[in-house]
Amino acid sequence: MLIVLKPDAKPKQIEKVCAEVRAMGFQPHPMPGAGRTAIGITGNKGPVNPLPFESLPGVERCIPVTKGYKLVLREMKPEGTVIDLQSAKVGGGKTFTIIAGPCSVESRKQMDQVARFVKDQGVNILRGGAFKPRSSPYSFQGLEMEGLEILKETGAKHGLATITEVMDTSTVEAVSAAADVLQIGARNMQNFSLLKKVGKAPKPVFLKRGMSATLEELLLAAEYVLHGGNYNVILCERGVRTFADHTRNTLDLSIVPSVQRLSHLPIFVDPSHAIGRRHFVEPMAKAALACGADGLMIEVTPDPDHALSDGAQTLDFKGFEQLVESLRPLAKVLGRTLN
């Protein structure tokens, strides 16, 4: 940590800050600078609480240096994490993986139809929500256990890996039994009880970035899962909340290379939720591929205009086919393989 002093900080004040650092068992390193002094701290094993120092006289502000994550750092696995889902390998920089399916599991027939279609398109991972986080208690909340059952059957029938959201600790076991990947939704990115629980689960975790999560918080949320013993985590950008109102959320694609620089975990993009408009899914999906994302999560359903949730951002079969067709040559020229 770095403690920045005020321009007029007295030598006595500087000494008091140093004494406080020493009292914590660390070493202070005062550095006189242009107009002011800054004090570095060494000897700490983890992040130092920056805040106590800020109330000392003469201190302007503190700047944390050490981040709280370790296991997610690229240095831990420079070649990148690859997750083997049998039907598909995720991550590692060569493949570009499309996860597709409806927002909500609505019926066995719907899922069967979608599974057959996406498999034909070369997709190997099927999504479908059984438990649905909805802003309003009066909105459709998903088919729950029945939805899980349908998803599992459909995946098995078509040889597709499956992914679905788990919303609380009490259903982690059931979801782990039914699906191949456990999705943590954006609203639960800092539901630490849930993160600890899926850290013990036998299935990979697909962790969506919170609506206003920083890169650091996203990596720390993943660190919870890895810290629990589950090293198979996929991160996913799904748009963040800003003042901009032309899309539902603001898709922050620059997090893709930022994650890849810092961490070994695969990073996906969900343009459907980020944008909330079906006609912008294709351009943003192409952008995600072009900037190096490991894959996409795309909503598709036969009749999106009558879907029980999120219809307007969901592609129909024709739209999805067109999307895959537009991605294929792009992937090729970028040295990536669609799977």
Binding residues for a second copy restricted to 51-70, rule: CB under 8 A:
51-55, 63, 65-66, 68-70
Q: Is 190 in the site for a second copy (CB under 8 A)?
A: yes
Length of the chain, in residues? 339
CA distances from 231 to 21, 117, 227 (A): 36, 32, 8
Interactions with a second copy, residue window 96-115 (CB under 8 A): none
Report in angstroms how near the CB of residue 205 gets to a second copy at its nearest. Answer: 14
- Secondary structure, 3-state, 80-124: CCCEECCCCEECCCCEEEEEEECCECCCHHHHHHHHHHHHHCCCC
Report in angstroms how near the CB of residue 287 gets to a second copy at its nearest. Answer: 4
Q: Is 18 in the site for a second copy (CB under 8 A)?
A: no
CA–CA–CA angle 236, 238, 240 (5° rounding)? 125
Backbone phi and psi for residue 165, each to the nearest 5 degrees, phi listed first: -80, 140
Q: Is 255 in the site for a second copy (CB under 8 A)?
A: yes
CA–CA–CA angle 304, 247, 97 (5° rounding)? 60
Interactions with a second copy, residue window 218-247 (CB under 8 A): 220, 223-224, 227, 240-247
Cβ proximity to a second copy, 115 vs 294, nearer residue: 294
Report in angstroms how near the CB of residue 164 gets to a second copy at its nearest. Answer: 15
- Alpha-helical regions (H) of 188-292: 192-198, 215-227, 255-262, 271-275, 281-290
Tell me which amino acid residue 290 is: A
Interactions with a second copy, residue window 263-322 (CB under 8 A): 274-280, 283-284, 286-292, 304-306, 310-313
Report in angstroms how near the CB of residue 167 gets to a second copy at its nearest. Answer: 5
Cβ proximity to a second copy, 153 vs 252, nearer residue: 252
